[in-house]
Amino acid sequence: MNYQFWHHPYFGRQQLHTILENYSNADIKEFGKDLIDTNKINLIPFYWETKLVNSNKIVNTEEFAKILKQINSFGFYLIADFSAEASDGYIDNVILNNLYVISNNFNISRFVVIQNNFEILNAKELDYGNYKIKTILLPYFILSTPLYMKEYIHDLSEYKNIEKKKDFICLNRRVKKHKFLFLRELYNRKLINNTYWTYVLNYVEEGLFKEGTFTKDVGLVFEDFKPIQLQDDISDFTELDYKDEFLYTINPKWYFESKVNLVVETYNHSPCHITEKVFKPIYLGVPFVVYSSKNYLEKLRNFGFKDYTSIIGEYDCNNITSVIDAGIRLKNIFDSSEVIEISEYNKSLINDTEFLNKTLNDTFYQQLGSITKNKKIL
């Protein structure tokens, strides 16, 4: 017995489908078109809607409930694809509605949420209100970054000897409080003028935004916000808020004209959400330090990647001052053989198909096996 993954025309193709096809050669069948072998473990994903993302577009329909009853009768597993996000049980009215609909039309014991939460190294049940939901890790951005970067970055040799124009690069799309405070600290320490930085969308409340001289001096206005972007960035900045297709549309020149990438992650709190923000410099072979949640660097190392603490010393990735200090230390030796060796190691690893296949097996498939009691891996 093994796994058979499906897609449903009403649900559409999901991010999970792309990962499975590229790293396990999964044959994705179309529900309603292909015959169902009930001797296999059949699984079908749909996009996990929340209040902030795709709210009630699919789940809150009669058609969805009808499909649930159909696939339930065949013993399917239903997978909520939340693979590009991370949650430790976040609940809102949309999620509660999702679970209500699912539990009324499907055997919820065969319902699984997949997400990019690196604190879930083994399948576990998370509390979603009164529901206990099976949840597993899919390390989405480790697997997706090389796929999508290769689509438009084919030759990096032209950047090999490019002149360094800035000490740092610090790219920010949705600027929330922790990102704002990081940028403000760069400003306060007189480092921001020597940094390629962006501030595309403002999610900071007015009081904090206007506190001090930072926003005024860099030309940001709360009432008439205009984004700070880099040359050759996407012109229609509003699309950057909601179109994830732009996650990888970077200009490599920005990275190679900078000595160190100051990565400000999505969260500076639990859950541990390791995203494309760090895997882009890894893919390019650019040195980095990270401002993020606690244990982030440890989790990154556990997956085989190296940071630069063996050279610059340990730093607290959850402390702005500590991260910037580490960035300065790394900037001072960015072109040393030790730094280059680590950068090249990481770059090689994320482009290693065998490593990527193993990562998918050791995380997603192994956790799925513990839920389905099927230990056979594709």
- Specify the pTM: 0.93
Can you give the pLDDT at residue 375? 39
Query: Distance (Å, rounded) from C-alpha 70 to C-alpha 105?
Result: 9
Residue 77's pLDDT is 97
Q: What is the pLDDT of residue 378?
A: 34
The topology (CATH level 3) of 142-352 is: Rossmann fold (3.40.50)
Q: What is the pLDDT of residue 1?
A: 47
**Residue 245 has what pLDDT?**
57
Please give the Cα distance from 293 to 271 (Å, whole number).
Answer: 7
CA pair distance 294, 317, nearest whole angstrom = 7
Contacts for 305 with CB less than 8 Å, ≥ 6 apart: 282, 346, 349, 350
From first to last of the 378 residues of the chain, give the pLDDT tens digit. Answer: 489 999 999 999 999 999 999 999 899 999 999 999 999 999 999 999 988 877 668 888 999 999 999 999 999 999 999 999 999 888 999 999 999 999 999 999 999 999 999 999 999 999 998 999 999 999 999 999 999 988 878 788 888 789 999 999 999 999 999 999 999 999 999 999 999 999 999 999 999 999 999 999 999 999 999 999 888 776 555 556 555 655 666 788 999 999 999 999 999 999 999 999 999 999 999 999 999 999 999 999 999 999 999 999 999 999 999 999 999 999 999 999 999 999 999 999 999 999 999 999 999 999 999 999 853 433
Position 79, amino acid: I
